[in-house]
Amino acid sequence: MSRRTCSPPSPTQESKPMTVRSSLLAASALLAATILPAHAAPATDATGLAALLAMPYANGLTGAATAPRVAWVERRNGIRNILVSDGGATPHRVTAYTQDDGTDLWGLTLSPDGRMLAFVEGGDPEYPDDAPPNAGNAPVPGKQTVRVVLPDGRIVTAGEGHAPTFSPDGRQLAFAHGGTLLVGRAGGVPRAVLTTPGAITALHWSPDGTRLAIEIDRGSHALIALWQDKPGNEAPVFLPAALAQDQMPAFSPDGRSIAFVRARTPLLTAERGKGHFWSIQTYDIATGTERTLWTAPEGAGSRFWAPEGIGLTWSGDGRLIFPWEGSGWLRLCALPVAASPPTPHCLTPDDAEIATYRLSADRTHLLYTANSGDLDHWRAWSQPLDDTPATPLTAEDEQVTILTTAGQAIAVMATGIAQPAHPVVLQNGGRRVPVTATVPDGFTFTAPQIVHIHGADGYDIHGQLFLPPATTPGPHPALIFVHGGPERQMLPAFNAMGYYSNAYIMNQLLAARGYVVLSVNYRSGTGYGLAFRDAPGIGRAGASEYGDVHAAGLYLRARPDVAPARIGIWGGSWGGYLTALALARDSALFAAGADFHGVHDLTEPDHPGLSPEEKQQARDTEWRSSPAADIAHWQAPVLLIHGDDDHNVEFEQSTLLARMLTARNIPFEDHIFPGERHAFLRTQDWLAAYLWTLHFLDAHLSAGHEH
């Protein structure tokens, strides 16, 4: 693989945006040419799908602490590279990768002054200590390495590992490899300073750069340790531990104490609102004493839950900012550390959820993203640390769930109806967009309609309805799309997650080809509050969310523009599970489906803490919630697609279903990607999978295939 480097951006660069001129023909040829023949993809792409998947998509946004410099990963034409921008000016590419080979770039972090950038090349951010994936089936698999872009643009390798983080003065770089902590001069050769059982998952420098707080996962429990660079005395000091998950350490501004979350997981779903399952602890570094600052009461919010990356932050006035679902909605609350007893005061609005947050550079304002006022619309907000109402920072026509700071500037990742995720920099009352993307020639994105579906048990289910062009004669074939997770939310625009950005493209293309497509935000998803996410009987406890999928199918069947005998369903992961469940239980309603890496047998081998009778009852419920339990009623054809290096859903879940379908002469088509992970790492594999899906759905749902 060719690796080249470019010099970093100049602070004097002009602010003219970079414009992507995407040629549908050229992009289609580029991606189609890289399809592996062994995967047996359709020979040609007459749909324009390749050009749509080639549109630039950004993720991994990060900002410098004291400079308005931001960096992110851009995937364009399936190829990942890292871009850097000063204050939203035209970005400069600091890497020069040229292949869609599945090599991920992640873990980006800028030095405080923005002059250096560290990132991880290769590996899998979900499983950083597992063997790196080899989605391209290279004869010599790549490694997972920490790389550093120096001020002169050269890129050096620090070593194998992940979680790079610069010290507050930018002179040192620390990262982890399994249970080993490595520290050294930034851009130099690090040394292993300690090795501990378990996996180091995150590192946090003290404000003066003399200590590191280390998060260590040991499976059944998690610990926090302190390491200090003292020659001859580098042994870690463990914070007082418990039979729990200690996580999210945050140094106080003066560096004298650490706050952290101590959480336990309820044994049973029914216990989630009972007991005191998490608390906020503080640790005095000088005395070595620990204090329970606050314990979540029973009821809503008694179990700790927050999106990845949201933790504790100290304000400038001695309060701890933390996420809590005490009202039934994920809000940001402030806890006065010096009060006795400290009582939390929630700052962000109720009846809405937050996704990310930061404090302003002067620690006086909350900067966060939330769906306040419209649960299907996410914006960035600024709010003083009091009861002053929040002020929106982003436009009404864009979706924003990701936010960070860069010196005095704010950077967000925005999406739109026709715009995949892209950074926007907000500073001094203005906004600058470093990269803009044009829609491929010959394709028009249309605004999905928000619809509400009411199930038999009264739940209000939100969905996005994609309609075919008015010139397309009806009645139309129709499709349900079910997301994975299940803790996810689809939006009436591109999604910030790459998996669902691709799914949004697919739903738009299906509608353009004449399908009525309904994307369903079924219960157990996020964005609609705790009661919706933790609804009774979901998943293994009874699959109650399938009632929402069934109600969506009935909604489509009742529409006059839908051919009632030509309704299908598609989805991946938990959406693959729901696709299989729909076909197994309701082949009379769903005529065909595409199941990407779904779960088909939910039974678990053991249930610690339950009596033999309770264990059997749990297994019976899990079995009844599984598609495999209704295989005798399955009649509709299904497409099965799975990567055989999936670390999220066992590959055997798909081989099991294929065997069961074969034994009953139920028609199916199957494809696998050797070496691919759960969320396919190569865009060419997404293209192949989606082309298989288009051909399969067209074959079984087109006119003349009524069942």
The pair of structure tokens assigned to 355 is 């996704």
9 band by pLDDT with thresholds 50, 70 and 90: very low
With 90 as the cut, is the pLDDT of residue 444 above it? yes
Has residue 476 got a pLDDT over 60? yes
Average pLDDT of the segment spanning 60-81: 97
Architecture, CATH, for domain 450-701? 3-Layer(aba) Sandwich (3.40)
Per-residue pLDDT of 531-543, as tens digits, reads: 999 999 999 999 9
Model confidence at 692: pLDDT above 90? yes
173: tokens are 């770089």
Give the bridge partners for 59, in sequence order. 73
Asked if omega into 486 is within 30° of 0 (cis), the reply is yes
Place of tokens 């399938």: 546
Percentage of the chain exceeding pLDDT 70: 92
Confidence band, pLDDT 50/70/90 cuts, at residue 379:
very high
Residue 269: per-residue pLDDT: 72
Using a 10 angstrom Cβ sphere, with 0-12 exposed, 13-18 middle and 19 or more buried, the burial of residue 144 is buried
Tokens 């010099």 correspond to 7
The DSSP string of 482-496 is E-SSSS----SS--S
pLDDT of 487 reads 96
Query: In the structure, what pLDDT confidence band is assigned to residue 24 with cuts at 50, 70 and 90?
Result: very low
**Of residues 609 and 145, which shows the higher confidence score?**
145
User: Which pLDDT does position 21 carry in this prediction?
Assistant: 34
Average pLDDT over residues 632-657: 98
Is the pLDDT at 680 greater than 60? The verdict is: yes
pLDDT bucket at 44, cuts 50 / 70 / 90: low
Highest mean pLDDT among 431-445, 588-602, 603-617: 588-602
pLDDT at 10: 31
In this prediction, residues 678-701 reach a mean pLDDT of 97
CA–CA distances in Å: residue 358 to residues 111, 225, 314, 373, 476:
18, 24, 10, 21, 46
- Answer whether 0.85 is exceeded by the pTM: yes
Give 133-171 pLDDT, tens digit per residue.
999 999 999 999 999 999 999 999 999 999 999 999 999
The predicted-structure confidence for 193-252, as pLDDT tens digits, reads as follows 999 999 999 999 999 999 999 999 999 999 999 999 887 777 899 999 999 999 999 999
Burial class (CB in 10 A: 0-12, 13-18, 19+), 10: exposed
What per-residue confidence (pLDDT) applies to 384?
Answer: 95
Identify the DSSP state of 363.
Answer: S
Q: Dump pLDDT digits (tens) for 80-117.
A: 999 999 999 999 999 999 999 999 999 999 999 999 99
CA dist 128 and 36 (Å) reads 27
71: buried, middle or exposed (CB in 10 Å: 19+, 13-18, 0-12)? buried
Give the confidence band of 6 by pLDDT, cuts at 50, 70, 90: very low
Could you read off the pLDDT of 290-329 as tens digits, one per residue? 999 999 999 999 999 998 878 999 999 999 999 999 999 9
Q: Which two tokens stand for residue 499?
A: 């998996």
